[in-house]
Amino acid sequence: MAIKYKILKAINISGMNFLAPVVRLAVGEDPQKQLREIGRFIVVPALAFLAFLLLWSVLAPKHKTKAGEVPTPRVTWEATGGIWRFHDRETRKDEAYQFTGGQRLEALVAAKSRMAELDALETKAKAELATVEASSKEKYDAVVGPVKAAYDKARETTSESRRTRTEALKTEAAALANSGADAREEFIGHLKAAEVTTGKEKTDLDSLKDKYTEVQSIAFPETKKAQRAVTLLAEERQFLVKYIDMLGEGSREVKVTESKAKYDEAKTAFLNAGPDEDLFKLGSSLVKRQELMATTETSSYAKPWTLPKQIVRSLLCVFAGFLLSSLIAIPLGILCGLSPTFMAATAPFVALFKPVSPLVWLPIIMIIVGGFMPDPANHWLILLFGKIPFIGNYKIDPMFLSSAITVALCSLWATLVNTALGVGSVDKDHMNVARVLRLGFWSRLFKIVIPTALPLIFAGLRISLGVGWMVLVAAEILSTSEGIGKFVNDMYTNGSSQSFAQMFVVVFIVGIIGMILDRIMVIFQRLVSFDNASSAI
């Protein structure tokens, strides 16, 4: 039973209250009530989400865009697989490049055997596609045929009727030679009427043509599936070709061996050179060879940025900004809360800068940061970040710093205001206790003021982190600093239906990460809330 309360307490602290009835049900506590709760807090939200997915599936294909149909949940899910496959394959290539000895050969054998399998699979998939296309040809004709026939017929009748009309008018015009003004006026009327009829016929024909074009693009699900299978296999083949190269000829080990051989050759040539040979030339070539060998030994595969890596960089950036904002906002907030004078001095800045959009801050910050770092690659700060393990892999550049500063500027207000409020709301009785105990300034600050303000400080931090995460993605889109925002920007520029779907994936990824960050802050907030009251979520 004790364990039950521990679990329930953990659930409560983490704010995952919807799990509580499941735990209670598991220990057999009032099953009817728990089932009702599960119904309300788990089944109902799940149903709502299903309804959302259904609506999305139905509505999305109805809208056509330049980048194809709006992706359905299914397409979005497939795009998630695509993003992951890309990441996985790039990671494998990176590893392959660095494999040596038996490991490399083993991987090479495995890759080659997969390549052999692929041949058979591809033939099969292509055959299937052909069959599917053949069988769907009938279906296609059945759908498209009548529309095409109607269009062709309409085209014919239209041109026919137009010709007849023109002929008739020409005849009429010929007859006009001897007629008076009235007849000529009448003829003009006929001409105008003929124009109108032609226009109307053209519109009708156009609408038929549109219908025909639309119906032509019809794709049957089975054809789509077969096409997708073929595409996936082709992509895998493309990968395997590169992968095998990375394990074989293109591997670092082979390259190092080659350059070592060349170096040895050059060395022999230099040492054994006769008196009539150019020792200067041979010597310089030897030095060059040596340098080349050294670079080859430490070289690595130029791995492109994949979404998972971009996500990690975005998280690093948001934490950097969040840290910066906390370091500024908490001390300032404490000062504001302690001193009404300081508060009065700060208030106009808060009011003025709080509403400023990150999209205004970012370019300004970029220029300012750029001013500090005329040669970013050799700036001490960038070099310092480059040396830190883990963080060094994420290419900390002025763009990263600018994004982090923008995040800090936009998110510090919530912490500042909440901290000031928390510090200002110290109980008068507690202050009296401090006075009776004759606590000094620092004791008062750390033993009374900050503990009082802590729940509010954390409430502020929670808001700040949420704001920061939102701001960051926007900042990355604008600054094209590697990260989730950059990914979205790339996909937008790319403009294919595949990349359109990947942008949808990003929506969910950003949402889920934001949710997790918020949960983490809620847990912290509850841990410092001394009255154990559950927080508003």
Partner 1 sequence: MSPIAQFPPRESFLKLDHVSIGFGPENERVNILENVNLSVKENEFVAVIGFSGAGKSTLVALLAGLEQPTAGKVTMAGKPVTRPGPERGVMFQTYSLLPWLSVFGNVELAAKSVFPEKSKREIRGHVEHYIEMVHLTPAMEKKPHELSGGMRQRVSLARTLAMQPEVLLLDEPLSALDALTRAVLQDEILQIWEQEKKTVILITNDVDEAILMADRIIPLTMGPKATLAEAFPVTLERPRERRTLTENPEYQHLKTDITSYLVNLNREARASRGTRIIQMPSVAPKEFRPKSRVIGIGGKHA
Q: Is 536 in the site for partner 1 (CB under 8 A)?
A: yes
Pick 44 or 437: Cβ nearer partner 1? 437
Stretch that binds partner 1, among 259-267, 344-352, 421-429, 476-484 (CB under 8 A): 421-429
Report, in Å, the least distance between residue 411 CB and partner 1. 19
Using alpha carbons, select from 498, 494, 415 the residue that is nearest to residue 462. 415
Interactions with partner 1, residue window 267-296 (CB under 8 A): none
Pick 134 or 533: Cβ nearer partner 1? 533
Helix, strand, coil percentages for the chain (3-state, nearest 5) = 85, 0, 15
Report, in Å, the least distance between residue 432 CB and partner 1. 6
Give the integer Cα–Cα distance in Å for 318 and 133. Answer: 50
Q: Per the structure block, which two tokens stand in for 435?
A: 């006075």
Distances (CA, A) of 266 to 71, 255, 270, 287, 486: 59, 16, 6, 9, 46
Is the distance from CB of 406 to CB of 324 less than 8 angstroms?
A: no
Report, in Å, the least distance between residue 344 CB and partner 1. 22
Report, in Å, the least distance between residue 336 CB and partner 1. 17
Report, in Å, the least distance between residue 318 CB and partner 1. 23
| Per-residue contact string for residues 190-229; x = within reach of partner 1 by CB under 8 A | ----------------------------------------
Cα first-last separation, the chain: 28
Radius of gyration of the chain (CA): 36
Q: Coil, helix or strand for 166?
A: helix
Residue 380 exposed, middle or buried by CB count within 10 Å (0-12, 13-18, 19+): exposed
Interface pick for partner 1 out of 276, 429, 441, 442 (rule CB under 8 A): 429
Stretch that binds partner 1, among 136-144, 160-168, 425-433, 484-492 (CB under 8 A): 425-433
Report, in Å, the least distance between residue 42 CB and partner 1. 21
Phi, psi of 481 (to 5 degrees): -90, 135
Interactions with partner 1, residue window 475-534 (CB under 8 A): 525, 529-534
Report, in Å, the least distance between residue 24 CB and partner 1. 20
68 - beta bridge partners? 65
Pick 338 or 365: Cβ nearer partner 1? 338
Q: Is 83 in the site for partner 1 (CB under 8 A)?
A: no
Orientation of helix 101-175 relative to helix 221-247, angle to 10°: 140
Pick 208 or 423: Cβ nearer partner 1? 423
Pick 18 or 86: Cβ nearer partner 1? 18
Pick 310 or 452: Cβ nearer partner 1? 452
Using alpha carbons, select from 279, 243, 199, 290 the residue that is nearest to residue 85. 243
Total number of residues binding partner 1 (CB under 8 A)?
31
Q: Is 73 in the site for partner 1 (CB under 8 A)?
A: no
Report, in Å, the least distance between residue 102 CB and partner 1. 59
Report, in Å, the least distance between residue 17 CB and partner 1. 11
Query: What is residue 329's DSSP assignment?
Result: H
Which 3-state string (H, E, C) describes 349-403? HHHHHCCCCHHHHHHHHHHHHHHHCCCHHHCHHHHHHHHCCCHHHHCCCHHHHHH
Q: Which residues of 306-325 are buried (b: 16+ CB within 10 A; e: fewer)?
A: bbbbbbebbbbbbebbbebb
DSSP H or E run through 64: strand 64-65
Stretch that binds partner 1, among 18-26, 43-51, 193-201, 428-436 (CB under 8 A): 428-436
Tell me how crowded residue 197 is: count the other CB atoms within 10 A of its CB: 13
Pick 13 or 129: Cβ nearer partner 1? 13
Interactions with partner 1, residue window 435-474 (CB under 8 A): 435-439, 443, 447-448, 451-452, 454-456, 459
Interface pick for partner 1 out of 100, 341, 425, 480 (rule CB under 8 A): 425
Interface pick for partner 1 out of 432, 480, 494, 496 (rule CB under 8 A): 432
Pick 198 or 535: Cβ nearer partner 1? 535
Report, in Å, the least distance between residue 449 CB and partner 1. 11
Stretch that binds partner 1, among 146-154, 171-179, 383-391, 419-427 (CB under 8 A): 419-427
Interface pick for partner 1 out of 412, 420, 426, 521 (rule CB under 8 A): 426
Residue with tokens 């969910």: 508
Pick 223 or 452: Cβ nearer partner 1? 452
Give the integer Cα–Cα distance in Å for 256 and 155. Answer: 70
Q: CA torsion angle for 282, 283, 289, 295 (degrees, to 10)?
A: -160
Report, in Å, the least distance between residue 523 CB and partner 1. 13
Which residue ranges make up the site for partner 1 (CB under 8 A)? Answer: 422, 425-427, 429-430, 432-433, 435-439, 443, 447-448, 451-452, 454-456, 459, 525, 529-536
